[in-house]
Amino acid sequence: MKEDFGLTQDQIDIQLMTRDFIRKELPFERIKECDEKNEVPMEVVKKCADMGLTSITLPESIGGGGMGQVTNSLVLEEIGYQDVGFATTIGACSLAYTPVDLFGTQAQKELFGKFIVDGGLAAFALTEADAGSDVANGRTTAVKDGDEWVINGTKCYITNGNNASVYAVFAVTTPDAGTRGMSCFIVERSRAGITCGKEEEKMGIRLSNTCEMVFDNVRVPADHLVGKEGQGFKIAMSTFDITRPAGVGACTCGAMRSCIDKCLEYAATRITFGNPILQNQSVQFMIADMEIRYEAARALAYKVASLIDAGITDSALASASKTLSSDYLVKTTEDAVQIFGGNGYSKDYPIEIMYRNAKISQLFEGTNQIQRMVIVKSLLKAAGMM
């Protein structure tokens, strides 16, 4: 892998450290075992936390790495190389912290960040059964009662739900107000009334815990409201503008790079008709197309990450990065199965897991159809057409 994008020596060191660590600590045999059991390798999570990989974007003032989205992308790309599901587990901490980072007070940043810095996981609780892409249609409510908010409702498909120590929870505070009726709250797992419901038996990313979270009269202090009342939708969308390029874009680029490396190695040693299949031009072209997709997606992901680090956020570019990389990953893993042939369909080879892992990247943090709507809306605004 080429070291480019004007990386500093510190960034390269972190990249290489993460690469060596994750390939040693999470080999295919362990990935396969966890995939079959639908479990998160918590011993590796702990080591990631000890290395500061779960708190890479948190401010140094609260014990975090104090690093930006380019460095975060480097870390998630390397972890994604081994397993997209595990990268999702680690990346969800940054996702959950970002609302507090963008809109929270210093006290809230310290409160939320301490759970992650101390080795815990965090979760972003937004999605509901009847409000997936239609975020503003959520039914979880938060009602003010004196100096507290009382939260009731059920969230679904929550990454790290059952393993998290703290949540960023989105709830309706003003019914019938649409996008202006939702607010964001810090909710500690230790509070009474929080239970983990159904744990999802997923097709892929099975090294990531995904479950239903039930909030039954959960009381949180008034100072756990992040930003202002009614800002929840804005907070969620602003968060995705930051997290999509790294959490999906760079992470899936790592998986594409892994596919390319595995296909090159396999095609060079797989003999048919007396020759390695790598000598077949059709196979060469498939691998060449993989490389083209990888380089294009990676360039866009790091461009967006660099802009974010420079203080520039662009919803359309973030959506473009997420969409391009996830669409390309699905195609790349599909071609990898084709190159591996029957072995690519076998659980004895890593391509089978990678193929199953890929699809979710087109769905979470907003489906790719929603991303395209965001992009077109941006184009129409720029053209003065809305």
Residues 6+ apart with CB under 8 A from 313: 238, 241, 242, 307
Say whether 365 is catalytic. yes
* Alpha helices for the chain (secondary structure H): 9-25, 28-37, 42-50, 69-82, 84-103, 106-117, 232-243, 251-269, 281-309, 315-340, 350-358, 368-382
d(CA 124, CA 186): 10
**64: how many CB neighbours lie within 10 A of its CB?**
21
Give the DSSP per-residue string, 248-266: IIIHHHHHHHHHHHHHHHH
Per-residue HEC secondary structure of 60-97 comes to HHHCCCCCCHHHHHHHHHHHHHHCHHHHHHHHHHHHHH
Half-sphere CA count of 46, side-chain side, radius 13 A: 3
Question: Phi, psi (5° rounding) for residue 368?
Answer: -70, -20
Instruction: State which H helix or E strand residue 215 sits in.
Output: strand 210-221
Q: Taking the mean position of all CA atoms in its chain, how far away is CA 270? A: 34
Q: Which of 77, 212, 352, 365 is catalytic?
A: 365
d(CA 139, CA 320): 29
Residues recognised as catalytic:
365
